[in-house]
Amino acid sequence: MLGIDQPELTVSPFHASEKKPTGEKKLTPGEIRLEGFSQKEDKSQDFLTSDEKRVFKNGFQNLKQLLAVADDGIQKMILTSFNKPSCFVGFQADISLDEGEAGIINQLLNRAGGGIKDQFAFFDHDGQQTLFNLPASEVIMKKFQSELKLSIPDRPLSREETLDYLTKLLRNPDLPQAHLALGLLSGYPLDDCLEFVSAGRADKPSALYKAEIVTDPDQRWPKPSIGNLNPGRYFTRDEINIGKLADGTTHVEAMGLNWLTGDVISQGTKDSVQKLWQVDRELGLIDFLNKERKSFNKQTNIWRIKAVKLLNKITN
C-alpha cells in the first residue's frame, strides 16, 4: 500500500510502498541497472498504441493549459508534484487527492475551459477524493476489455458511458476482478496485476468499492483553501528506477507510477518502462516539468500552507 507521504486511498495492495528502493538509480538517461538485471531504452520499437498516443498528446496539452491558468506557485506545485502529471497526461487514469487538492484542481479545470473539465471526474469515498482521467480510462478499459470481462462498442464513448463502465468495474462483487480493474486503471502492467490477483491476495474490497461520483464539484468546493492541503504530499520522483525494498520485494518507480513486480521482473514491467521512456522522448515531459518547477519555490509554498493551517487552527 501507499506509504507515509500519501494516504491509502485508491490503490490495490499490489501498489508499492513509496519508501525508496535500495537498488541503484538510473545511471544514465535510458538505462536501468540492478543486481542481475539491466535494461536500456529501445528506440527501434513503438511501444504505444495509436489511441495511447492520441490520449497522451491531448493530456499533455491539457496539463499545459492548466499550468497556464494557475495563478500562483502553490497551484503549479500541485499540478507538477509526484503522480499528478501522470494522471493529467493519461498513462495513469486515477490518482488520490486530499480535500484541498480536489478543490483547487476543480477550480483550475473551470478556469481552463475548452471542455477540459468534461474529460475528468471526481469520485468520493468516505470523504476522500479520487480524480479519474476519462479518456485514459476509456483507452485502458478497451485495451483490456477481455481481461476485465467487458464488451465495449468500437466507437468513442460518451462521458456518461465511461463513468458507467468505471462504476461497474469498481463495484464489481467479484473482488479479484475489481482489484484487477483498479490496478490496470492505475497504470500498472497486466502481468503484475494478474500475478497479484492469481495469488489469492485480492480478497478484500478496494477503497473505491463504494465510491460515488461527485456530481456537484463546484458546490462541494466553492472556495478552495490552501489551508486544506497536506504539505507532506509535495515531492517529485520522475526518474525511472527498479530496486529492492527492505523486505526484498522488487519495486518500480516510473514518472509518478509505483508498483511491485515479481522476483523475476515481468515482461509487462519491461514494456511499461519502455512505454514511459517513449512518452518522455516524444513529449519532452520531464524537461517540461522541470522547467515549470523552477518557476516557484517549493519551500516557500510549504511555509505558506503551514502558516494558513496554523492561522486557521488559532482562529477556529
Q: What is the DSSP string of 72-95?
A: SHHHHHHHHSTTHHHHHHTSS-EE
What three-state secondary structure class fits 167? Answer: helix
Q: Domain count of the chain?
A: 1
Helix H or strand E segment including 50: helix 50-69
| pLDDT recorded at residue 34 | 62
Q: Which of 41-45, 98-102, 201-205 has the lowest mean pLDDT?
A: 201-205
Interacting residues of 223 by C-beta distance below 8 A, sequence separation 6+: 103
Measured CA to CA, the distance from residue 19 to residue 247 in angstroms comes to 11
pLDDT band at 29 (very low <50, low <70, confident <90, very high): low
- Section 189-193 average pLDDT: 92
Q: Is residue 192 part of a domain?
A: yes
Q: Is residue 278 part of a domain?
A: yes
Please give the radius of gyration of the chain, using alpha carbons only, rounded to the nearest integer: 19
Q: Is residue 150 part of a domain?
A: yes
Interacting residues of 281 by C-beta distance below 8 A, sequence separation 6+: 41, 43
Q: Is residue 157 part of a domain?
A: yes
Beta carbons of 79 and 136 less than 8 angstroms apart: no
Measured CA to CA, the distance from residue 217 to residue 224 in angstroms comes to 11
Q: What percent of the chain has pLDDT over 70?
A: 88
Question: Positive or negative CA dihedral for 139, 119, 182, 8?
Answer: positive
- Residue written as grid cell 513503438: 46
Q: What percent of the chain has pLDDT over 90?
A: 66
Measured CA to CA, the distance from residue 105 to residue 254 in angstroms comes to 23
Measured CA to CA, the distance from residue 258 to residue 235 in angstroms comes to 14
Please give the C-alpha separations between residue 121 and each of 109, 145, 174, 185, 234, in angstroms, as whole numbers. Answer: 11, 21, 24, 14, 22
Q: Is residue 115 part of a domain?
A: yes
Nearest to 278 by CA among 91, 92, 94: 91
Most confident range, picked from 63-72, 125-134, 238-247: 63-72
Instruction: Give CA angle at 82 (78, 85), nearest 5°.
Output: 70
Please give the C-alpha separations between residue 178 and each of 170, 172, 184, 194, 314, in angstroms, as whole numbers. Answer: 5, 5, 10, 12, 43
Nearest to 296 by CA among 210, 250, 234: 234
CB atoms within 10 A of CB 55: 25
Q: Which three cell numbers stand for residue 23?
A: 537498488
Full residue range of the structural domain in which residue 104 is found? 44-234+266-315
pTM value?
A: 0.89
The predicted-structure confidence for 158-173, as pLDDT tens digits, reads as follows 999 999 999 999 999 9
What three-state secondary structure class fits 54? Answer: helix
Q: Which three cell numbers stand for residue 179?
A: 482489484
The predicted-structure confidence for 205-264, as pLDDT tens digits, reads as follows 887 888 999 999 999 999 999 999 998 888 776 677 777 777 777 888 888 888 888 777
Q: Is residue 79 part of a domain?
A: yes
- Section 44-64 average pLDDT: 97
Q: Is residue 241 part of a domain?
A: no
Please give the C-alpha separations between residue 176 and each of 20, 191, 203, in angstroms, as whole numbers. Answer: 28, 14, 7
Q: Is residue 307 part of a domain?
A: yes
Averaged confidence pLDDT in the chain = 86
What residue type is 4 in one-letter code? I
Q: Which three cell numbers stand for residue 291?
A: 522547467
